[in-house]
Amino acid sequence: MKPTSKIYVAGHRGMVGSAIVRKLRADGYDNLITRTSRELDLRDQRAVNEFFATERPEYVFLAAAKVGGIMANNVYRGQFLYDNLMIEANVIEAARVNEVKKLQFLGSSCIYPKLAPQPLTEDALLTGPLEPTNEPYAIAKITGIKLCDAYRAQYGCDFISVMPTNLYGPNDNYDLETSHVLPALIRKIHEAKKEGSPEVVMWGTGSPKREFLHSDDLAAACVYLMHEFSDYGFVNVGTGEDLSILDLARTIKEVVGYDGEITQDRSKPDGTPRKLMNVDKLHAMGWKHTIGLREGIERVYAELEGKDWY
């Protein structure tokens, strides 16, 4: 990509897309194309085709997706599968037809089998059953990876895939019905402090371990990989470090300054026992994250204070 290249960031209002836009602009890329979901419904094939034919982007970051946490994934199973399949199929096909120079598809660490050996290496894909609660979303993301690979094989398209670990950062979702664990805990603990509640109840046992990457780090990796990676398969993007959900809650409690107790609702599901990315492939390519977890949470919470963020 050159500073003058025409770049389309799909999903620019989301946490990932907005971070990519910030990174591109910071790096001097000023010919960016964006559309809100109201302006362009990526599930609508005709609308997507017309958009690509008119705008003719040279590069595409496909960060648009229907996303949510364990509750949303489990409840809205049909919607998560359908919406994500349509978004990726329409954008990837339109990129091929309109001769986009390079496309980057953003997936998720949930693509891996529930009991895959830890840390998760890229070759573990499709080696076992998926976590049942987010299976529809995972299947959609796996399809996106395979679609990029198939288009590379059949048409010679330079379409690549990137698989981030659990993310957090500016423009995250704090809706308790649809959010991921880190923003959900920030909101719960913030509200408990504000209301003087003696306890915060978290789902499950708190024992599952998760890895978290700040969205600004992901954006830096995405731009880096757009330059440096061109191959079949995909690249894990993460920190290579994890912690238990209970320890995450305790860290957030310290950052927020909450004095109450963290208790567990053991009737609720835990989800996958552990999801740690192996990032050897990424490190070997010359990129590592720079924002530590506590620092990242402090930055996020400082950005939220004084705002109407939920």
Question: From the annotation, which residues make up the binding site for NADP(+)?
Answer: 11-17, 106-109, 141, 164-167, 180
Nearest Cα neighbor of 87 from 18, 158, 30, 17 is 17
DSSP 14: S
Residue type, 249: A
What CA–CA distance (Å, rounded) separates 9 from 64? 8
**Catalytic positions, please?**
137
Q: Are strands 243-244 and 209-210 parallel, antiparallel or unpaired?
A: antiparallel
What CA–CA distance (Å, rounded) separates 20 from 169? 12
DSSP 121: P
**CB-CB contact of 262 with 253 (8 Å):** yes
Task: Name, in order, each residue with C-beta under 8 angstroms of 299's C-beta and a sequence gap of 6 or more.
Answer: 214, 291
What CA–CA distance (Å, rounded) separates 140 from 130? 12
- Please give the structure tokens belonging to residue 304: 């939220």
**CB-CB contact of 159 with 271 (8 Å):** no
- Please give the structure tokens belonging to residue 271: 């989800």
SS3 content of the chain, % helix, strand, coil (to 5): 45, 15, 40
